[in-house]
């Protein structure tokens, strides 16, 4: 799968969506309005409701951001229903019975509706355990300007993903979501739900997999075919396909055999889990993932040109074997594939080998030093993105979850552009000194 016509990515300045914030925003997600590419929406976990230490009081809650000037300025509001929300929207929200939300994922349809999926939990401070949880999809209308309610999906327990059908075909406007679910007698399984009324209601869930596989991504191609990718329990990436708007699925086909990364990387506190990401355009279907088959984490990509029947030999995306390359994300538009990932090549300890799985906990301390942030071009294909300096308040021993999402869109002039939403890179301190990498984010455009 040789690359050709590679475009040099141009990385603009970072824009802090919430200026002056000193709390961690985690698991960001971003989407663009198909009707107006100047309108962007994003989401993340927000820790502003959390305070104190060891253990902290309060919990994280998902936050919604919107820009009408191409991302230059933003508004920020918590998803209605958070603890202490006495607004009319908050009192009527089905989320009001929960004290924590997480796992935000966001999607736009071509009618100006925004769909914000996540997981809501009741978390016990006493036992430090989740005692009840549910998936949900919240909706914003008028190009994402106005909140329009939320719907619970009770069998959804973890890792939601959401997409819409913008094909103009018979299923145009449908909303599709997948969740990991708690199944009786099993650790987890993956379910699929669909809405044909713009998220007012959702179908009964379809069980896509048992406890050997976890759904990790869903996409719709321009003809309206749905594809769901999984982290397979036997070292592979299965893909299911639906041609009837999500009423039934065929497959799976195996997109690739993989060696998933461990959780966490040895000597670091990153939650590291291979989650294959999937995207589609008129040319094909694409999957990207992180893989440690060589002993170091690399970003690999495969594609299908026949609607998921066969898949290409995996292509290594990162152009350097130095360091760890992980948490990739992908978007496609106008014949261009955009991939971003986290990269430890600037870190002096970047060649540390991964060790057998073990859990590492460290206390976060404010970091006053400046991580490496020079922009540089790499082989004319990849560019190091300028990242901001993280500042944290101490909430006690904890693990860090870094993840990000990417979008690509075609403007009215058919010029392709891509945007990433990412938390700041992480440097971690402990009483024994540094225990984590300095990270930078790399980004590559491919025309295949």
How many CB atoms within 10 Å of residue 16? 11
Please report the pLDDT score of residue 49 as a whole number.
78
Lowest mean pLDDT among 113-122, 228-237, 332-341: 332-341
Judged against a pLDDT cut of 60, whether residue 378 lies above it is answered with: no
Lowest mean pLDDT among 107-111, 177-181, 189-193, 367-371: 367-371
Q: Which helix (H) or strand (E) holds 88?
A: helix 88-92
**DSSP track, 350-370:** TTPPP-S-----B------SP
pLDDT in tens, 417-429: 455 555 544 333 3
- Rounded to an integer, the average pLDDT of 303-315 is 96
Please report the pLDDT score of residue 241 as a whole number.
97
Judged against a pLDDT cut of 60, whether residue 202 lies above it is answered with: yes
| Contact predicate 395/56, CB 8 Å | yes
Please report the pLDDT score of residue 242 as a whole number.
98
Please report the pLDDT score of residue 348 as a whole number.
59
pTM of the model: 0.81
Q: Which helix (H) or strand (E) holds 92?
A: helix 88-92
pLDDT in tens, 266-286: 556 667 789 999 999 999 999
Longest dimension (CA), the chain: 60
For the chain, what percent of residues have pLDDT higher than 90? Answer: 48
Judged against a pLDDT cut of 50, whether residue 176 lies above it is answered with: yes
What's the chain's average pLDDT? 77
Lowest mean pLDDT among 285-294, 304-313, 321-330: 321-330
pLDDT in tens, 23-40: 678 889 999 999 999 999
Instruction: Decide which of 391 and 62 is more confident.
Output: 62
Instruction: Decide which of 4 and 177 is more confident.
Output: 177
pLDDT in tens, 43-52: 999 887 776 6
- Rounded to an integer, the average pLDDT of 51-78 is 85
Give the C-alpha separation, 227 to 245, whole Å.
11
The three-class DSSP label of residue 97 is helix
Please report the pLDDT score of residue 435 as a whole number.
36
């Amino acid at each position: 799968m040789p690359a050709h016509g590679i475009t040099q990515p141009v990385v603009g300045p970072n824009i802090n969506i919430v200026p002056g914030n000193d709390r961690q925003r985690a698991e960001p997600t971003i989407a663009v309005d198909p009707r107006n590419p100047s309108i962007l929406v994003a989401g993340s976990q927000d820790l502003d409701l959390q305070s104190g230490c060891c253990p902290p009081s309060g919990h994280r809650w998902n936050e919604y951001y919107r820009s009408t000037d191409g991302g230059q300025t933003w508004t920020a509001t918590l998803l209605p229903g958070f603890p202490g929300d006495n607004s009319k929207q908050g009192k009527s929200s089905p989320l009001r019975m929960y004290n924590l939300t997480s796992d935000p994922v966001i999607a736009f349809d071509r009618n100006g509706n925004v769909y914000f999926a996540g997981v809501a939990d009741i978390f016990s401070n006493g036992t430090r355990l989740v005692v009840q949880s549910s998936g949900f999809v919240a909706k914003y209308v008028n190009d994402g300007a106005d909140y329009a309610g939320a719907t619970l999906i009770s069998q959804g327990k973890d890792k939601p993903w959401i997409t819409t059908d913008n094909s103009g075909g018979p299923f145009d406007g449908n909303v599709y979501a997948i969740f990991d679910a708690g199944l009786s007698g099993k650790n987890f399984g993956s379910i699929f739900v669909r809405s044909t009324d713009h998220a007012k209601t959702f179908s009964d869930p379809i069980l896509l997999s048992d406890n050997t596989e976890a759904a990790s991504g869903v996409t719709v191609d321009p003809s309206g075919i749905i594809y769901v990718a999984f982290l397979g329990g036997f070292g592979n990436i299965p893909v299911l396909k639906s041609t009837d708007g999500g009423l039934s699925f065929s497959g799976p086909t195996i997109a690739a055999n993989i060696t998933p990364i461990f959780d966490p990387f040895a000597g670091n506190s990153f939650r590291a889990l291979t989650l294959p990401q999937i995207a589609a355009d008129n040319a094909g279907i694409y999957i990207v993932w992180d893989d440690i088959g060589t002993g170091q984490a690399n970003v690999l990509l495969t594609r299908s040109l026949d609607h998921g029947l066969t898949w290409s030999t995996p292509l290594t995306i990162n152009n350097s074997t130095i360091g760890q390359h992980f948490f990739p994300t992908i978007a496609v538009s106008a014949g261009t594939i955009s991939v971003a990932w986290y990269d430890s090549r600037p870190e002096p300890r970047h060649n540390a080998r991964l060790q057998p799985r073990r859990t590492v906990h460290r206390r976060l301390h404010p970091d006053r030093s400046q991580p490496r942030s020079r922009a540089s071009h790499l082989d004319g294909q990849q560019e190091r993105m300028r990242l901001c300096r993280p500042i944290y308040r101490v909430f006690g021993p904890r693990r860090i979850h870094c993840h990000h999402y990417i979008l690509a869109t075609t403007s009215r002039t058919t010029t392709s552009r891509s945007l990433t939403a990412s938390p700041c890179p992480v440097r971690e301190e402990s009483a024994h000194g540094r225990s984590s990498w300095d990270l930078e984010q790399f980004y590559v455009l491919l025309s295949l």
